[in-house]
C-alpha cells in the first residue's frame, strides 16, 4: 500500500466507526399511544410472526380490509368482515356481536384467536419480555415489564387516537354551506327521513351502538346468528352491532360478512331487501316495506355517504 492508500484506508475505517457510533437510536415511544402503534404494526404478536393488527386493519383504508374476510396466520379465513377501527372511543360494545364491552377487553382477543394471530397471550407476553427493545419501552412508559394489562392499555390507547371528524359533512354542519355538494345535502335529507337510515345510524358517529337485524340472516345460507350467539335470546337472532358510518367510502366491502361490494349495492339492498334475501328471519320492522327510492334519491344518498370521509382518506 502506498501512503495515500494507507491514508484513504484509515479515513474509511474512521468514517465507518463514526457512522456506527452516531447512528441515531430508534426513536423510543414516549407515550402509551406511541407504544400501541408500534405493537399494532408489529408481527411479533402473531404465532409465526407473519401478520400484525395492521395486516387486517389497513391504515390506508381507514383501518379496515378490502376483502370480504381477512386471512389470519397460515392463510386461515375468518367468518366476518374486518371493521374499520376509527372512531372507537365512544363505542360501548365491540365486535359485530358486541362480545367485548371495553376496548381493553377487545384488543387482546385477536392475538389469541386461532384464525387471526393464533398466539396464546402468555407466549405473546414472554416474547415481549424477551425483547430488550420492548422491555425498555414498557419499563419507561409503565414502570414495569409487559403484562396483559399494559399490553391491552397500549393497544387500546393507540386505537383511541384514531378519531376522525374532518369531513365535508362536519364542515357543512359548522356552517360552511359549500362544504357539501347539493346532492349530498339532499342525500342527508333522505338519510334522515324516507331512507330511515338515521333511525339506526344516529349520534355523531352514525351509530347508537344498538344491535339490529337488517335481514342478512335466513338460518340457511346466511346463518351467522350475530348477537344471539352471546345472549341466547331468540329475539337477538341475526342482529349485529349497528356500525358507524364515518369513512364508509373507503371501508368496503360492507356488512358483517362483507357481502356487498359497493355503497350503491348497500343502498339498493335497503330499498328492496326482499330482492336480495327472500326468506330473511327476524328482520327489523323498519325494513318491512320497500323504501321506494328513486334513482335520483339513491345517487343523492350515496353522495351524502361519500361526504363522511375524513380528509386523511379523501
Ligand atoms: C386476521 C385479521 C385480523 C387481525 C390480525 C386483527 N383483527 Fe381486529 N378484527 C378483525 C375482524 C374480522 C373483526 C370482527 C370480528 C367479529 O366481529 O367477530 C375485528 C374486530 C376488531 C375490533 C372491534 C371493532 C368494532 O367495530 O367493534 C377492534 C378494536 C380490533 N379488531 C382491533 C384489533 C387489534 C388491536 C389487533 C391486533 C392485536 C387486531 N384487531 C388484529 C380482523 C383482524
Ligand atoms: C334497522 C336499523 C338500520 C337501518 C334502518 C339502517 N341500517 Fe345500516 N346497518 C344496520 C346494521 C345492524 C348494519 C350491520 C348489518 C350486518 O352486518 O348484518 C348496518 C350496516 C350498514 C352499512 C355497512 C357498514 C359497514 O361497515 O359494513 C352501511 C353503509 C349502512 N348500514 C348504511 C345505511 C343506510 C344508507 C341506511 C338507510 C337507507 C341504513 N343503513 C339503514 C342498521 C340499520
pLDDT one-digit tens code per residue, 263-282: 999 999 999 999 999 999 99
Q: Is residue 65 over pLDDT 70? A: yes
The number of C-alpha atoms within 13 Å of 127 and in the hemisphere containing its C-beta is 17
Whether 212 and 239 have beta carbons less than 8 Å apart is answered as yes
Whether 163 and 87 have beta carbons less than 8 Å apart is answered as yes
pLDDT value of position 26 = 72
Q: Is residue 243 over pLDDT 80? A: yes
pLDDT value of position 18 = 55
Return the closest-CA partner of residue 31 out of 150, 164, 129, 163: 150
Residue 23 CA, ligand 2 centroid: distance in Å: 51
Query: Distance between CA atoms of 265 and 262, rounded to whole angstroms?
Result: 5
pLDDT one-digit tens code per residue, 68-114: 999 999 999 999 999 999 999 999 999 999 999 999 999 999 999 99
Ligand 2 mutation target, pool 88, 255, 267, most atoms within 8 A of CB: 255
Could you count the other beta carbons within 10 Å of the beta carbon of residue 112?
Answer: 16
Quote the radius of gyration of the chain (alpha carbons, Å).
24
pLDDT one-digit tens code per residue, 181-205: 999 999 999 999 999 999 999 999 9
Give the residue carrying C-alpha cell 340472516.
Answer: 217
Cis upstream peptide for 253 (omega within 30°): yes
The number of C-alpha atoms within 13 Å of 98 and in the hemisphere containing its C-beta is 21
Q: Is residue 4 over pLDDT 90? A: no
Could you count the other beta carbons within 10 Å of the beta carbon of residue 179?
Answer: 17
pLDDT one-digit tens code per residue, 205-239: 999 999 999 999 999 999 999 999 999 999 999 99
55 within ligand 1 shell (Cβ under 6 A): yes
Query: Distance between CA atoms of 252 and 96, rounded to whole angstroms?
Result: 15
State mean pLDDT over 48-52: 97
Whether 215 and 280 have beta carbons less than 8 Å apart is answered as yes
pLDDT one-digit tens code per residue, 292-306: 999 999 999 999 999
Residue 250 CA, ligand 2 centroid: distance in Å: 16
Amino acid at each position: 500500500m502506498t501512503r495515500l492508500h494507507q491514508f484513504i484506508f484509515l479515513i474509511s475505517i474512521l468514517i465507518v466507526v463514526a457512522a456506527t457510533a452516531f447512528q441515531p437510536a430508534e426513536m423510543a415511544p414516549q407515550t402509551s399511544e406511541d407504544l400501541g402503534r408500534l405493537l399494532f404494526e408489529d408481527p411479533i404478536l402473531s404465532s409465526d410472526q407473519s401478520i400484525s393488527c395492521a395486516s387486517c386493519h389497513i391504515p390506508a383504508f381507514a383501518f379496515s380490509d378490502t376483502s370480504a374476510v381477512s386471512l389470519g396466520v397460515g392463510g386461515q379465513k375468518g367468518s366476518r368482515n374486518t371493521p374499520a377501527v376509527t372512531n372507537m372511543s365512544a363505542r360501548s360494545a365491540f365486535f359485530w356481536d358486541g362480545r367485548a364491552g371495553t376496548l381493553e377487553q377487545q384488543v387482546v382477543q385477536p392475538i389469541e384467536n386461532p384464525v387471526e394471530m393464533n398466539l396464546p397471550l402468555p407466549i405473546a407476553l414472554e416474547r415481549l419480555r424477551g425483547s430488550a427493545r420492548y422491555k425498555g419501552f414498557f419499563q419507561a412508559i409503565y414502570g414495569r415489564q409487559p403484562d396483559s394489562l399494559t399490553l391491552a392499555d397500549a393497544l387500546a390507547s393507540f386505537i383511541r387516537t384514531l378519531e376522525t371528524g374532518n369531513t365535508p359533512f362536519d364542515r357543512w354542519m359548522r356552517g360552511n354551506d359549500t362544504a357539501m355538494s347539493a346532492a349530498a345535502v339532499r342525500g342527508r335529507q333522505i338519510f334522515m327521513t324516507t331512507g330511515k337510515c338515521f333511525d339506526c345510524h344516529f349520534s355523531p358517529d352514525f351509530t347508537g351502538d344498538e344491535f339490529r337485524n337488517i335481514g342478512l340472516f335466513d338460518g340457511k345460507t346466511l346463518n351467522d346468528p350475530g348477537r344471539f350467539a352471546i345472549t341466547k335470546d331468540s329475539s337477538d337472532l341475526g342482529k349485529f352491532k349497528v356500525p358507524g358510518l364515518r369513512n364508509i367510502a373507503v371501508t368496503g366491502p360492507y356488512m358483517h360478512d362483507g357481502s356487498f361490494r359497493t355503497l350503491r349495492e348497500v343502498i339498493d339492498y335497503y330499498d328492496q331487501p326482499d330482492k336480495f334475501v327472500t326468506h330473511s328471519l327476524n328482520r327489523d320492522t323498519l325494513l318491512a316495506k320497500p323504501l321506494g327510492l328513486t334513482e335520483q334519491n339513491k345517487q343523492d344518498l350515496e353522495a351524502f355517504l361519500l361526504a363522511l370521509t375524513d380528509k386523511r382518506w379523501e
